[in-house]
Amino acid sequence: MTTAVDLAERIRTQTGLVGFWVGTDNPPMTERLARLGYDYLCLDAQHGLLDDTGCLRNLTAIDAGTSGTTVGIVRVAANTPQHIGRALDLGAAGVIVPLVNTPEEAAAAVRACRYPPAGIRSYGPVRSALRIGPDPRETDRAVACIVMIETREGLDNVEKIAQVPGVDALYVGPSDLSLALGNTPPAAGWSTPRFVDALVRVRTAARTAGRGCGLHTNTGAAAARALADGFTFASVSDDIDHLQNAARHALDTARSAVLVG
């Protein structure tokens, strides 16, 4: 299990971490998820339905629902100091930064996660000090900077991106990466050799650089396969799809009983 104060170190060095993806602003649900034993819950502020207030409510719910074993992280909307700093100030233990294409963009994400002199994060830990800090050096060590590899350019530069000091892990966005490699629909990428080769390349780059490497997956079974293939952490996605699938299964089961009767 993972605690907030050691997420960056664990995401770099530990294998078998499993998280769950949250795209809706539903604190009571998030609080329940935090009691299940996931290593992290990721709030999606890029494609999910969460604004700053929603992230605050759900990060608080994670802290209320866990005994310290589950931490909250945020996939930010963009690689900017404003988006990254805001997520961390709200109490996130780390950020997943989308669409990182070059070593320079990776370095910018790192700087946004760290206080001066190591970075440019503005000091104002109104809530984050309750979770990590308030000492800036302690916070710099604890916060995880995870950058996404999900474009053709990012894949072409993945070895250099992995070597950027302060990057704690790489994270594959499979749908965008599949599209970038010419697959339509995105799910078609999983059966193509070049997509499989791309996943191996990202894992190898991360391992060589001593970084963690994560994959976004749709099911627990897919997460287990990712970990068996060499990814060090995997996210199971997501609350909306899982609710829909459970509701559909319940409906189909109920209607089948009526038809039989």
Token pair listed for 193: 């050799």
Using CA atoms, how far residue 195 sits from 53, 187, 205, in Å, is: 37, 11, 15
pTM of the model: 0.95
Determine contact, residues 154/99, Cβ cutoff 8 Å.
yes
Q: Is the pLDDT of residue 8 over 70?
A: yes
Strands 169-172 and 212-217: what pairing? parallel
Token pair listed for 88: 């961390």
Tell me the per-residue pLDDT of 152-193, one tens digit each, with 9 for 90 and over. 999 999 999 999 999 999 999 999 999 999 998 898 888 899
Can you give the pLDDT at residue 71? 94
3-state secondary structure of 235: strand
Q: Could you give the CA distance from residue 17 to residue 26 in angstroms, rounded to a whole number?
A: 24
Q: Can you tell me the mean pLDDT for 103-117?
A: 98
Can you give the pLDDT at residue 190? 86
Determine contact, residues 43/29, Cβ cutoff 8 Å.
no
Of 6-10, 69-73, 210-214, the range with the lowest mean pLDDT is 6-10
Q: Can you tell me the mean pLDDT for 95-111?
A: 98
Residues whose CB is less than 8 angstroms from the CB of residue 230 and which lie 6 or more positions away in sequence, other chains included? 203, 207, 213
pLDDT-derived band of residue 133, with 50, 70 and 90 as boundaries? Answer: confident
Q: Is the pLDDT of residue 258 over 80?
A: no
Determine contact, residues 161/211, Cβ cutoff 8 Å.
no
Q: Could you give the CA distance from residue 67 to residue 106 in angstroms, rounded to a whole number?
A: 33
Q: Name the DSSP class of 3.
A: -
Mean pLDDT over the full length of the chain: 94
Can you give the pLDDT at residue 129? 87
Q: Is the pLDDT of residue 3 over 80?
A: no
DSSP 5-58: GGHHHHHHH---EEEEEE-S--HHHHHHHHTTT-SEEEEESSSSS--HHHHHHH
Q: Is the pLDDT of residue 90 over 70?
A: yes
Can you give the pLDDT at residue 191? 86
Q: Is the pLDDT of residue 107 over 70?
A: yes
Q: Is the pLDDT of residue 1 over 50?
A: no
Q: Is the pLDDT of residue 259 over 90?
A: no
Q: Can you tell me the mean pLDDT for 74-100?
A: 97
Helix axes 27-34 and 52-65, enclosed angle (nearest 10) = 40
Q: Is the pLDDT of residue 222 over 70?
A: yes
Q: Can you tell me the mean pLDDT for 118-129?
A: 93
Tell me the per-residue pLDDT of 195-217, one tens digit each, with 9 for 90 and over. 999 999 999 999 999 999 999 99
Q: Which of 47, 216, 242, 249 is catalytic?
A: 47
Tell me the per-residue pLDDT of 140-149, one tens digit each, with 9 for 90 and over. 999 999 999 9
Check if 47 is active-site: yes
Q: Could you give the CA distance from residue 224 to residue 98 in angstroms, rounded to a whole number?
A: 23
3-state secondary structure of 35: coil
Tell me the per-residue pLDDT of 20-48, one tens digit each, with 9 for 90 and over. 999 999 999 999 999 999 999 999 999 99
Q: Is the pLDDT of residue 2 over 70?
A: no
In terms of Cα–Cα distance, which of 114, 127, 23 is closest to 77? 23
Q: Is the pLDDT of residue 260 over 60?
A: yes
